[in-house]
Every structure is written in structure tokens, then in C-alpha cells.
Amino acid sequence: MRNINCAGRSILAVCSAIVLLAGCGKAVDTNSGNAPADTTLSAVGSLAASDTDSAKAPAGSGTTSASEAESSAKTEAPTPTAAPTASPTADPTPAPESPAVPSEDPAGIDFVSAETALYTYEQMMTDLSEMAAAYPDLLTVTSCGTSLDGRDIPEAILGNPGSEHHILIQASIHAREYINTLVAMEQIEYFLHHHADGMYADASYDQLLSSVCFHILPMSNPDGVSISQFGPDAIRNEELRNGLYDILQNDRDGGRTSGEDSYWRRWKANARGVDLNRNFDAGWDMYEGVPYPSSDHYKGTSPASEPETQAILNAADACNAMITISYHSMGGVIYWDYGSTGEVYDKDYALMSLVSVMTGYSGSSSVQSSQDAAGCSDYFVLVRGVPSVTIENGWSECPIGIEEYPSIWNANAELLPALAFTYKNG
């Protein structure tokens, strides 16, 4: 076991989470992997810093900025009975003061390197292959779909595929929010790296991995991420690539943008300008957004019209996911509820409470509107009755720079073990 280090989260909070959610008051080895690394990681951060065409989320105000938030708080969330570090009524969570500069890569540098926020599709595929080869009994990697530009959308299957308890996690459905791919990849590595010595409450990581199965899509929108990282030349299909320039011109003509580099860097959609998190069949008719392909807020021609949306649905259907997590940026907040009722609402509240205690982020109840609908979590909660939350990592403009990664990692390091512990019995 590793020394307890509670820089990002109090031991009390973790114990309280277990008391609240698992009825367990036993000693905790937080294994808090607090440690990310690198003091030499500023190159990509400067990209975000120079990006001025976005509104920052005002710390301590009622909602995140319209340009960033995937949902907006409409009603007050009830207060969990025990959540010392997280008040679900406050939104967004203030940025932490001077996050500790880590001395080593959070999950170990064996596979996934957190040296740069510019973590690419190709690097992710290499790292997934190497991890699966190193831990063949614990991790398999498959494809749950193919993007418009022909990229496999990988699904990392971590744990016991024969389990009855399956948890779906997807990240980077919004292109510029690709810092979350790094989070998801390091969560996989962290669980694998500590499978033999990690403990959560009274359960070993090995026990947890035999009891549940995670289905993790670290990059749901690989074409969009590639556009955000490298511009439209990252798209190999000529028709799609030309279409991107048409979309840019249309947004210029409409006064939605004046720049070009910042336009691509802040791209959220897929390779034909569909905002995938407005492409789900939950409030899709009601959602307005923009009526033409764009960098964001265009819902597509019909629900689930896009192969990347279908890939997420395929993965969830194939495993019969019992809960889902969507990673986005930014705001340090957890969206939940979506207008659910009864048992689904109660279960979504319990999930939000667990995530709130583990991450230190505040919960924010969100209900659909014409400006805010057709998202992935909305769909799973409202249509499938599957408890789901959206976690918004980071506090500054997207793309989030690597200087924020240590605090983001610290908030998310032990979320998977906590989910496994909580849901291992259904």
C-alpha cells in the first residue's frame, strides 16, 4: 500500500463517501495517486491561454458559461447527507488554489504519459494496445464503431466481462475537451498498475475487477479531437475536409467567428459539423441550437444520425450498462437529474453524490430545455432509465492546458475503484 496523501481530497471525505454509499466505516487506503508529474509541460497550455474567444465560467456564480456548459443548472439539488468536500447546491466548484505540482506521472509512466495535453488518437491507440498486451486477463480492447473519417472508436473493457455489472464511461465526445481522454486512459492504467496492491475500503482492486466490468471509450469523437489538435488537415477524406472549410466560411459569413486557428482549436463537433452531444434521441426535437453544421450546437439531421453517436449506443447496448459517466470540460461540476423521476431520480442522485464526494465537484441538477437537450447523459437517464452523470473537468478555457491536469487527475484518480465498490452488487 502506498502512503496516504490527501492533497486533493480529505480522508474524511472518502470515509464519508463509503459510509454514505456503502455502509462501510472501515479504514481506507486512499491510494490517492496524487502525484502527477512534470514541471515541463507548458507548451500546449499556451494554446489555451492565447485563446480568447471564449467566456470563462465565473467562479462561484450560478451557472457555467453558455459557451462551455453542456447543461445548465435549473433547479437546486438536494444536499447529500454526507459530502464534506462537495455541496451539490453550489455551482460551479471553485478552482483549487495552486494545485500541487506533481513529482511523477499519476498512474506511473509505464504506458500513458501525461507530459502534454496534446494526447493524440494515435498515441491512445498505441497505449491501449500495450496495456492490453501487458494485462491480458484484465483488459481487452475492441472497436465499438468507426468514425466518419475511418478511425476505429476504441472500447477498453476493464475487469470481468462475465460480470453482471457493467459501467460505461465515455470521454471526449466534444472534440476540444480531449484532456478527458488522458484522464480516462490514466484511470485504466492506474487500476491495472495497482490491481494487486490497491484497496478501496475492504475490497482489493483485484476483487473489484472480478466483480464489475468497465467499458471505457476514451475518445468518442476521434475525428473531432484530431481537428481540434491539428486542424482540418487531420481529416483524410477530401470531401469531409473540404466540408470543414465550407463550415468555417459559413460561420464567418454568419459572424460566428472571425479567426481560423482558434476556430479549429475550439472545435467541438465531429468531422461534418454535428455536435454529437446534441445528437441523442432525448429532447432532440425540442433542441434548437444552430440550424446548420458548425463547430458546435448543430444537432444533425436526425437522432443518432452520426456513427460516433451510434458507437456509444452500441457499446451501452452490448453490455447492458447499469450506469454511465460522460466526461466533459469545464467547470468542476457534475450535471445530473435531467428531469428524471422516481427510482431513476433517486439512483441518479446516489450516483451524483458518490461522484461529488470522490471528485470534490458540486452536483448541479439539470433539466432539459430548447437550449439544452439531446445529450448522452440525458438519453441514458430519460430514455433508458440508466443513472448517468456528466462530469465537467477543469476550470479554464478549452482545450484545457496540462497545467490543470494534476488537479483534474487528483479529483478523478480513484473514481473507478469507488464506482466498482459501490456497484459490485448491483
Q: How far apart are CA 86 and CA 359, in angstroms?
A: 8
CB contact at 8 A, 193 and 140? no
Contacts of 136 (CB under 8 A, 6+ apart): none
Residue 194 touches Zn ion, criterion: CB under 5 A: no
Gap between the Cα atoms of 232 and 358, Å rounded: 38
Q: Judged by CB under 5 A, which stretch of 6-14, 18-26, 65-73, 77-85 contacts Zn ion?
A: 65-73
Contact flags string 299-338 toward Zn ion, x per CB under 5 A: -----------------------------x----------
Which stretch in 26-34, 63-71, 104-112, 290-298 sits in contact with Zn ion by CB under 5 A?
63-71
The Cα 401–Cα 403 span in angstroms is: 5
Binder of Zn ion out of 34, 37, 51, 70 (CB under 5 A): 70
Read off the C-alpha cell for 289. Answer: 441550437
For 277, half-sphere exposure in the C-beta direction (CA atoms, 13 angstrom radius) is: 29
**Least spacing, CB of residue 70 vs Zn ion, in Å:** 5
The CA-based diameter of the chain, rounded to the nearest angstrom, is 62
Task: Output 272 or 328, the one with its CB closest to Zn ion.
Answer: 328
Whichever of 37 and 333 has its CB closer to Zn ion, that residue is 333
Choose between 105 and 372: whose C-beta lies nearer to Zn ion.
372
**Pairing assessment for the beta strands 362-367 and 73-75 based on DSSP bridges:** antiparallel
User: Residues touching Zn ion: how many (CB under 5 A)?
Assistant: 4
**Is the dihedral angle over the CA atoms 366, 177, 190, 359 positive or is it negative?**
negative
Q: Which stretch binds Zn ion (CB under 5 A): 64-72, 255-263, 332-340, 380-388?
A: 64-72
C-beta of 238: minimal distance to Zn ion in Å?
A: 28
Contact call for residues 246 and 237 (beta carbons, < 8 A): no
Minimum distance of Zn ion from residue 124's CB (angstroms): 18
Determine the interface stretch with Zn ion among 58-66, 128-136, 168-176, 335-343 (rule: CB under 5 A).
168-176
Strand pairing partners for 326? 170, 390
Judged by beta carbon, residue 174 or residue 193, the one nearer Zn ion is 174
Residue 36 CB, nearest approach to Zn ion (Å)? 22
**Residue (of 393, 14, 421, 411) closest to 180 by Cα position:** 393
Least distance from C-beta 391 to Zn ion, angstroms?
Answer: 10
Residue ranges of the alpha helices (H) in 57-204? Answer: 121-134, 179-193
- Binding to Zn ion (CB under 5 A) within 23-52 occurs at none
94-131 residues labelled b (16+ CB within 10 A) or e (exposed): ebbeebeebeebbbbeebbbbbbbbbbbebbbebbeeb
- Please answer whether residues 145 and 317 qualify as being in contact, where contact means their C-beta atoms are separated by less than 8 angstroms: no
- Asked if residue 174 binds Zn ion (CB under 5 A), the reply is yes
Residue nearer to Zn ion on the CB measure, 215 or 328: 328
Nearest distance from C-beta of residue 142 to Zn ion, angstroms: 25
* Residues in 230-249 that interact with Zn ion by CB under 5 A: none
CB of 277 to Zn ion, least distance (A): 6
CB of 100 to Zn ion, least distance (A): 26
In the complex with Zn ion, the residue whose CB is nearer, 156 or 400, is 400
Which positions lie near Zn ion, rule CB under 5 A?
70, 174, 177, 328
